Structure 1
Amino acid sequence: MNQIPGEFILAFLGMVFTAMFLLSQGLTIPVFGEAKQVRKRIRGRLNLLERANNLPNMQSILRQKYLRRLPPLEARLEQLPMMETLAQMIEQAGHEYRAYRVLLLGLVLATAVGLVLWSLLQLWWVALPAAAVVFWLPVWKIAHDRAKRFAQFEEGLPDALDAMCRALRAGHPFNETLQLVAEEHQGPVAYEFGLAFADINYGNDVRRAMLGLLERVPSMTVMMLVTTVLIHRETGGNLTEVLTRLSSLIRGRFRFHRKVKTLSAEGRMSGWILVSMPFVLAAAILISSPTYMPLLFKEPLGQKLIMGAFVAMLIGIFWIRKIIRIQV
C-alpha cells in the first residue's frame, strides 16, 4: 500500500477543522442569552432613553477616559473602525485585553498559518481560507466567552432577585440590596451588581446606574429588571412583589429554553451527521485506496471540484443553521 502524501492529509484536516468549527458555531443554541437581533433592539432602546434624558452614553464617557490614559500610538490604534465594538465585547466577556492587540494576534496567527500551508502545499485555495479562519479565531473566542458570561449572569439573576427581595422585606434601601448581592454572590452577577452599587455610591443616580447595567449586559431579562426598577422609582408600588414575580418569570423562561434545546437536539445531530459524512467517506477512501484521492488533488479540475464542494458545504452549514433556528 502506497503511503498517503502529507500535503493531502494537511489539506483534508484543514477542511475538516473549518467545517466543524463553523458547524459548532452555527448549530450551538444557547440555553440562556439573547440573539443578536434582540441585543440590537435593546441597544436602540437604550440610545433612545439616553437621548430623551439628554444624558451622554456611559460607555462612551468611560471609553474617552480610557483613551486619554493611553499612549498616543495605542490611542490611535484603539480609535480605528470597529475597535469600539470589539473593546465593548472584550469588556462584556470579562477580559482586560486591548482591542488592537486582539486583531494583531489574529493577523500574526493568520500570516503564520497561511505561510506554513503555502510552503507545504503550494495551494492558495487551502492556505487563504485557512488563514481567514485563523484570523477571526481570537474574536470568536472573545464572543464565545461573552456569551458564556451572559449565560452565567442570567442563570444567577433569579437568585440575586430573591436576595434583593429578602433585603427589601428586611427594610434595607434599594442601594444596599445591590451591595448585598455583590457580597453574598459570586460570578458575573456579583461583579455587575457591585458596579451598579459603585455607580450610585460615587454620585450617579439609580436611573443612570441601572442603564449602565443594561449597557454592560444587554439582555431581555436585564431590561425587564431595569424597566421594573425605573418604573418603581417614578410611580412607586410594591417593588418586592414585582421582583418576586420577575424572578419566577425568568425561571420559567429558562425552563422553556431548556425544552427548546431538547426538542432541537435531533435537528442539530442531523446537521453534524450531514456535514461530517463527506469527510468520513473521504478518509475511508484515502485508507482503502491511497492512489485514488491524490489524483483529485493534483489535477486542476479536481482542485476546482473540491473548492466548489467545500463552498457548497459551507452554504449547507448556514442553511441547516437557518432551518434549525426557524424550528426553534
Structure 2
Amino acid sequence: MSQIPTEFILIFLGMIFLSVFLLSQGLAVPVFGEAGKVRKRIRERLHVLERASDVPNMQTVLRQKYLKRLSPLEAALEQLPGMEKLAEMVEQAGHEFRAYRVILLGLALAAGGALLVWLFFPLWWAALAVGVALFWVPILKISSDRGKRFAEFEEQLPDALDSMVRALKAGHPFNETLRLVADEQKGVVAHEFGLTFADINYGNDVRRAMLGLLERMPSMTVMMLVTSILLHRETGGNLTEILQRLSSLIRGRFRFQRKVKTLSAEGRMSAWVLVAIPFVLTIALMATSPEYLPMLLKEPIGHKLIAGSFFAMLLGIFWIKKIIRIEV
C-alpha cells in the first residue's frame, strides 16, 4: 500500500465518485415524477400559452415584487445570470431561503474543501476537482428535494381528485373544492392546492391560477388535470366524471410504473454489480498484492489502459441507463 502513489489514490476515489453518481442518476429513477425532457416541454408550452394571452407571467410579477423587498446588494445578486432558474428550483423544492445563499454556500464548501485537500495533498488539480465537486453539492441537494417533492405530489394527487369529486357532488363550487382539498389532505398537495385557492381568492382568474399550479409542479399528471379543468370551463361538460376518470388514469399509470420498476430491478442490480467489480478488484489487489498496481502505473501504456477502461465504463453506464430508463 505504501508503494501506491497518492495521485493514483485520488484519481481512484474520483473515479468511484463519478461512477456512483452517474449510476445513481441513471438507474435510481423514482416511481413517480417526470423526466427533465418532459418538464422542459411543459415549460415551453406554458410560455406559448402566456404569449398567446395578454396577461403577464405571474412568476415574473411575483419575482419583481420579491426583488423590491431585498437590499440593493441582495437584489443585485439575485439578478445574476441563472439565479432566476435557481430561485424557481428552490421554490419547487419547498424551501424558503434565497437563491444567492445557495451559491454562497457552494462557494464556501468549494473553498474549504480545496484548501483542505491542498494542505494534505499539495496537488492543484486535486484541490480544483474537489472544489468543483463540492460547489455542486447544495444545488444537487435542492434538485433531489425538488424531485422528491414532485413525486410526493403526484402520489397524493389521486386522493386529492377524489376529494374534489366528493365536494363537487355535494354541490360546492369549484373554488371551494380547492379549499376543501387543502383542508382535508396533507403534505405537498394540500400546500399547492391551498396556494391555488388563495390565488383565485385574491382576484386572479381560474385559468391563471391553474397555470400557476402547473408552473410550480411541471409534470404530465398536473398538465392533464389543468388541461381538463380549462377545457371544461371553456366547453362545459361533467367535471365530476372527468376528474373521476383522471384519478383512475393516474392510478393505473402508477401501477404500470411500479410493474416496470419491478421488472427492471434485475437490470439495475446487474448494473451496480458490473460497475462495482473493477473497483472491488482494484481494492483487493491493493490489499493482497501492493507491488502489482505500481508496475501498471509507472508504464505509459498503463495510463492509457486505465483511461480507456474508465471511458468504456462510462459508456456502459450510459448504455445501461438507456436500456432500463423508466419514462412512462
For normalisation by structure 1, the TM-score amounts to: 0.92
Q: Is the 8 Å Cα contact of residues 261 and 326 (structure 2) preserved in structure 1?
A: no
Residue 66 (structure 1) aligns with: 66
Matched, 1:142 2:159: no
Taking a change above 3 Å as real, the CA distance of residues 128 and 15 of structure 1, as seen in their structure-2 partners, is farther
User: CA shift at 1:296, angstroms?
Assistant: 4.6
Residue 116 (structure 2) aligns with: 116
Matched, 1:31 2:38: no
Matched, 1:168 2:151: no
Give 3-state SS (helix, strand or coil) of 2:193's partner. Answer: helix
User: CA shift at 1:107, angstroms?
Assistant: 2.1
Unaligned runs of 5+ in 1: none
Taking a change above 3 Å as real, the CA distance of residues 25 and 325 of structure 1, as seen in their structure-2 partners, is same
Number of equivalenced pairs: 327
- What amino acid is the match of 1:178? L
Residue 216 (structure 1) aligns with: 216
User: Whole-Å Cα distance in 1 between the matches of residues 68 and 58 of structure 2?
Assistant: 16
User: CA shift at 1:230, angstroms?
Assistant: 0.9
Moved more, 33-42 or 116-125: 116-125
Give 3-state SS (helix, strand or coil) of 2:108's partner. Answer: helix
Matched, 1:244 2:244: yes
Percent pairwise identity: 70
Taking a change above 3 Å as real, the CA distance of residues 107 and 308 of structure 1, as seen in their structure-2 partners, is farther
User: Whole-Å Cα distance in 2 between the matches of residues 85 and 4 of structure 1?
Assistant: 48
- What amino acid is the match of 1:207? R
Taking a change above 3 Å as real, the CA distance of residues 195 and 6 of structure 1, as seen in their structure-2 partners, is farther
Matched, 1:256 2:235: no
Taking a change above 3 Å as real, the CA distance of residues 264 and 128 of structure 1, as seen in their structure-2 partners, is farther
Q: Is the 8 Å Cα contact of residues 125 and 307 (structure 1) preserved in structure 2?
A: no
Residue 317 (structure 2) aligns with: 317
User: CA shift at 1:205, angstroms?
Assistant: 1.1
User: CA shift at 1:19, angstroms?
Assistant: 1.9
Residue 287 (structure 1) aligns with: 287
- What amino acid is the match of 1:195? L
1:40-94 Cα distance to aligned partner (Å, 9 max, x none): 1111111111111211111111111111111111111111111111110110000
Residue 181 (structure 2) aligns with: 181
Taking a change above 3 Å as real, the CA distance of residues 230 and 184 of structure 1, as seen in their structure-2 partners, is same
Residue 266 (structure 1) aligns with: 266
Taking a change above 3 Å as real, the CA distance of residues 245 and 50 of structure 1, as seen in their structure-2 partners, is same
User: CA shift at 1:298, angstroms?
Assistant: 6.3
- What amino acid is the match of 1:86? L
- What amino acid is the match of 1:37? K
1:226-269 Cα distance to aligned partner (Å, 9 max, x none): 11111111121111111001000000010111111112212211
Q: Is the 8 Å Cα contact of residues 31 and 261 (structure 1) preserved in structure 2?
A: yes
Unaligned runs of 5+ in 2: none
For normalisation by structure 2, the TM-score amounts to: 0.92
1:126-141 pair list within 5 angstroms: 126-141=126-141
User: Whole-Å Cα distance in 2 between the matches of residues 311 and 132 of structure 1?
Assistant: 21
Give 3-state SS (helix, strand or coil) of 1:273's partner. Answer: helix
1:193-234 Cα distance to aligned partner (Å, 9 max, x none): 000000011111111111110110011111111111111111
- What amino acid is the match of 2:219? S
Taking a change above 3 Å as real, the CA distance of residues 263 and 129 of structure 1, as seen in their structure-2 partners, is farther
User: Whole-Å Cα distance in 2 between the matches of residues 20 and 159 of structure 1?
Assistant: 36
Residue 105 (structure 2) aligns with: 105
Give 3-state SS (helix, strand or coil) of 1:108's partner. Answer: helix
Residue 231 (structure 1) aligns with: 231
User: CA shift at 1:143, angstroms?
Assistant: 0.8
User: Whole-Å Cα distance in 2 between the matches of residues 269 and 197 of structure 1?
Assistant: 44
Moved more, 317-326 or 216-225: 317-326
User: Whole-Å Cα distance in 2 between the matches of residues 159 and 245 of structure 1?
Assistant: 13
- What amino acid is the match of 2:88? Q
